[in-house]
Structure 1
Amino acid sequence: MVGDVVQFLCEQGYSLQGNAHITCMPGPVRRWNYPVPLCLAQCGGSRKEVSGVILSPGFPGNYPSGLDCTWTVNLPVGFGIHLAFLNFSTEAIHDYLEIRSGTLEMGSVIDRFSGPVTPKSLFSTTHQTSFFFHSDYSQNKPGFHITYQAYQLQSCPDPRPFRNGIVIGTDFSVGMTVSFECLPGYSLIGEASLTCLHGISRNWNHPLPRCEGNTELTVSE
């Protein structure tokens, strides 16, 4: 009716293009005061929610040519994300999606996906995850529909008490490093520094070291 206002909200993964509110205007011909907006999947973006959606541009239609899109999921330290692929179809080899633990520049590659096969679900075990999508100038496909859900990362086992020595560092979470030193009269057997590994099962990158008493006696003349 005249004067009524309609509000538009997009589903997860889509961005609103246009006015979120439109009003039915008076006059001999009923019309809205603004064009009806659109919900479009964008090329890249940043996510901070604990759950969300990553869509290729134009989804569910074909993605355009010549794209280089980057999405990032930034969560509090101590959280990772579980990724589920609902749809996936790109031109094999030439169009691909690369997922990294960490930033696009410094993060380690989890995997690169290309072609018609929908990947299995996977985990990113860092609080920051990056998605990079590239398309060339030939074939266009429907692209991808990915959902993610945050989960809390566990810490590596507490190395204390460390007999006959001390542990330097109290943060045993993923990616953190602790060091070990022995008390006077003891020698360190093993690695002096350990890093908590990424992965579903939390473990240090080396066995825990130990401090053993020195058996050699120094005789002074």
Structure 2
Amino acid sequence: MFLYSLAAQSCGGVVQGLNGTIESPGFPHGYPNYANCTWLIITGERNRIQLTFVTLALEEDFDIVSVYDGQPSPGNLKMRLSGFMLPSPIVSSGSILALWFTTDFAVSAQGFKAVYEVLPSHTCGTPGLIPNGVIHGSRYNIGDKIRYSCESGYVLEGHNILTCIVSAGSGAQWDFPSPFCRAEGACGGTLRGTAGSITSPGYPTEYDNNLDCTWSILAEPGDTIALVFNDFFLEDKYDFLEISGTEAPSIW
């Protein structure tokens, strides 16, 4: 005969204040199985909330933190996070931002740590650092611009200059998603955000021989992805671009 007891760790709740930190239960020593935690960040009317993940280590596909733009309901889902890839800072459109953290019955990891900051309606908040990149500029109000560059040995993909603009219904926001830096000679990667660009290595000059590049574009559940080609020229019958998703792949 044996006696087994499990002490549930409390988590979640209503969070208020100009800034603060939210951590998974047990962070950084590992979260429990069967966790089910909901945090509700609330600020004053006309303000928004910026959430930045500084650590993310979850069992891929099974332990998930969902971020909602407003109350935690399916229609407000903004992002689902799992695994180890840190997202760009997340900004709410209103005065409420919610997090819902769930885990399965086995395998744990370090967990997550996120910091939040209340944003007045006239500021976009920091667009965030990018791996192997440098951000130039420290003002994030409407009309301000910031510029990205990459460290030596890396090439910038995306827009290098972002401008804080007025967005109807959601205050201020950056006009483009943050770019990323890829290693010189490398290609492919994972892209998030509401808009962006992909180019063949070396574009608009010629690409190298023997390339094998894969880009993954991630959207939120319920969203679709539109891919528009502005320029397209490959060696006929020898160089190919394959596009695949929920439908059968197409070869170009």
1:59 aligns with 2:31: no
Alignment of 1:171-190 (within 5 A): none
Say if 1:52 and 1:130 are closer, same or farther in 2 by CA, change over 3 A: same
Structure 1, 106-115 or 95-104: larger mean CA deviation = 106-115
Structure 1, 121-130 or 53-62: larger mean CA deviation = 121-130
Q: Partner letter of residue 96 of structure 2?
A: Q
Q: Which runs of 5+ in 2 are unaligned?
A: 1-8, 123-166, 175-252
Q: How many Å separate the matches in 2 of 1:73 and 1:43? A: 14
Q: Identity of counterpart residues, as a percentage?
A: 27
- Greater Rg by CA: 1
Q: Partner letter of residue 123 of structure 1?
A: V
Q: Which runs of 5+ in 1 are unaligned?
A: 1-40, 155-194, 203-221
1:107, distance to aligned residue in structure 2 (A) = 5.5
1:121, distance to aligned residue in structure 2 (A) = 1.7
1:42, distance to aligned residue in structure 2 (A) = 4.2
Q: Partner letter of residue 143 of structure 1?
A: G
- Contact between 2:50 and 2:89, CA under 8 Å: does it hold in 1? yes
What is the aligned length?
A: 124
1:86 to 47, 54, 61: 54
Instruction: Tell me the TM-score normalised to structure 2 length.
Output: 0.45
RMSD: 2.5
The aligned counterpart of 2:14 is 46
- Contact between 1:94 and 1:136, CA under 8 Å: does it hold in 2? yes
Q: How many Å separate the matches in 2 of 1:89 and 1:95? A: 9
- Contact between 2:70 and 2:92, CA under 8 Å: does it hold in 1? no
1:109 aligns with 2:81: no
Q: How many Å separate the matches in 1 of 2:46 and 2:75? A: 16
1:140 to 104, 108, 115: 108
1:118, distance to aligned residue in structure 2 (A) = 2.1
- Contact between 2:121 and 2:171, CA under 8 Å: does it hold in 1? no
Q: How many Å separate the matches in 2 of 1:112 and 1:201? A: 21
Say if 1:135 and 1:199 are closer, same or farther in 2 by CA, change over 3 A: farther
1:198, distance to aligned residue in structure 2 (A) = 3.0
Q: How many Å separate the matches in 1 of 2:10 and 2:19? A: 18
1:152, distance to aligned residue in structure 2 (A) = 1.1
Instruction: Tell me the TM-score normalised to structure 1 length.
Output: 0.51
- Contact between 1:125 and 1:200, CA under 8 Å: does it hold in 2? no
Equivalent position SS for 1:200 = strand
The aligned counterpart of 1:125 is 93
The aligned counterpart of 1:150 is 118
**Residue deviations 1:159-216 (CA, integer Å, cap 9, x gap):** xxxxxxxxxxxxxxxxxxxxxxxxxxxxxxxxxxxx94336349xxxxxxxxxxxxxx
- Contact between 1:88 and 1:119, CA under 8 Å: does it hold in 2? no
Q: How many Å separate the matches in 1 of 2:46 and 2:24? A: 28
Q: Partner letter of residue 59 of structure 2?
A: E
Q: How many Å separate the matches in 1 of 2:20 and 2:11? A: 16
Equivalent position SS for 1:112 = strand
